[in-house]
């Protein structure tokens, strides 16, 4: 069974541990997902309450957005991702990514090209974790169709 999304919590509702640059937030309620909250090296200098305050602020902002979600797409020619040094990973600048996938990695592994950056599956996975708990829709388009949102129709493929 899929666990529920994390929510604003009090210190007595969670256990916080540190691994590398992450704060691992374990909810005492086992129906709520554990969160790997990437902070970077500063996590080791922060109190549990400081970590939880930062986490709660993000969760509260997500809940207060209300209404229908509008994803921000960075215009073509502008950087879609940036390197976040404190967490030692790439992060998206918006909520839409235009990518090209090829099989040029070791042993034919997929490589995801975003702007002028080639990300391994591991690097791309870490980038996706920026939106942990969110849903993802993947729409495959020919390379020349990347700069505009495609039309989508609902249906079953014809065999």
Mean per-residue pLDDT over the chain, rounded: 90
Would you say the C-alpha torsion 57, 38, 105, 82 has a positive or negative sign? positive
Name the pLDDT band for 8 (thresholds 50, 70, 90): very high
Burial class (CB in 10 A: 0-12, 13-18, 19+), 55: buried
Read off the pLDDT of residues 46-104 as tens digits, 9 standing for 90 and up.
999 999 999 999 888 777 656 567 788 999 999 999 999 888 899 999 999 999 999 99
- SS3 of residue 8 by DSSP: coil
What pLDDT, on the 0 to 100 scale, is given for residue 9?
A: 94
* Residues contacting 82, CB < 8 A, separation 6+: 90, 91, 93
Would you say the C-alpha torsion 39, 133, 6, 2 has a positive or negative sign? negative
SS (H, E, C) 19-77: ECCEEEEEECCCCECCEEEECCHHHHHCCHHHHHHHHHHHHHHHHHCCCCCCCCECCCC
Tell me which residue has tokens 């070791």.
Answer: 106
Residues facing residue 90 across a β-bridge: 83
What pLDDT, on the 0 to 100 scale, is given for residue 153?
A: 87
What pLDDT, on the 0 to 100 scale, is given for residue 65?
A: 58
| Tokens standing for residue 111 | 């490589």
pTM of the model: 0.62
């Amino acid at each position: 069974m899929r666990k529920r999304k994390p929510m604003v919590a009090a210190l007595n509702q969670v256990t916080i541990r540190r691994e590398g640059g992450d704060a691992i937030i374990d909810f005492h309620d086992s129906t709520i997902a554990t969160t790997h909250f990437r902070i970077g090296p500063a996590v080791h200098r922060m109190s549990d309450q400081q970590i939880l305050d930062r986490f709660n602020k993000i969760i509260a902002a997500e809940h207060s957005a209300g209404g229908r979600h509008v994803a921000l797409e960075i215009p073509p020619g502008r950087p879609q991702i940036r390197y976040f040094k404190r967490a030692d990973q790439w992060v998206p600048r918006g909520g839409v990514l235009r990518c090209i996938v090829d099989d040029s990695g070791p042993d034919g592994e997929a490589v995801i090209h975003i702007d002028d950056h080639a990300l391994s599956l591991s690097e791309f996975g870490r980038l996706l974790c920026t939106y942990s708990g969110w849903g993802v829709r993947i729409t495959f388009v020919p390379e020349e169709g990347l700069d505009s949102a495609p039309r989508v129709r609902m249906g079953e493929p014809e065999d």
